[in-house]
Amino acid sequence: MSELLTLFTRTHKLLRAAADEAMSRHGVRVGQNLVLAVLWETDGLTPGELAARLHLTTPTIVNTATRMEEAGLLTRVRDPADGRLVRLHLTERARAAQRPVEEERRLLEQRATATLTDEERRHLRSALTKIIKEMSDG
């Protein structure tokens, strides 16, 4: 395995574990915080709309929504204009988690980049954005 791929893998595992620990303090599983972030901006999206915004598949969102509904974070409501569609709506529990979850994400980013200069943070963001674009297009 190349050195860069090894570093990406190790970084991913460490960040995921730290994020899981941070999110679980607020009744949210890692990954669900990304769904919540989109719904905090635009509540009532369909699973397909949410999947498109997160660059995930609709079945992935449906499975995640099922777990989130069981955890009391969202509800599914039939679209009144088109009964074939289901819309995902935040519960009060999910709304109450917004500030603490956003703060956990901020603290995690701060911790992960604590030893970087502002210029290194900018370069890291730029490099990761380019890698995501390249791997998404291919």
What are the boundaries of each domain within the chain? 3-137
Tokens of 21: 């620990």
pTM of the entire structure?
A: 0.85
Q: How much is the average pLDDT of 59-78?
A: 96
| pLDDT surpasses 80 at 88 | yes
- The residue among 119, 58, 133, 56 whose CA lies nearest residue 88 is 58
> What is the pLDDT, as a whole number, of residue 2?
85
* Phi, psi at 45, each rounded to 5°: -75, 160
Contact present, 39 and 88 (Cβ < 8 Å): yes
pLDDT digits (tens, 9 = 90+) for 10-44: 999 999 999 999 999 999 998 899 999 999 999 99
3.30.70.890, 2.30.42.10, 1.10.10.10, 1.10.3720.10: which CATH number matches 3-137? Answer: 1.10.10.10
Determine what percent of the chain is predicted with pLDDT higher than 90: 90
Residue 137 binned pLDDT confidence (cut-offs 50, 70, 90): confident
Q: What is the DSSP letter of 45?
A: B
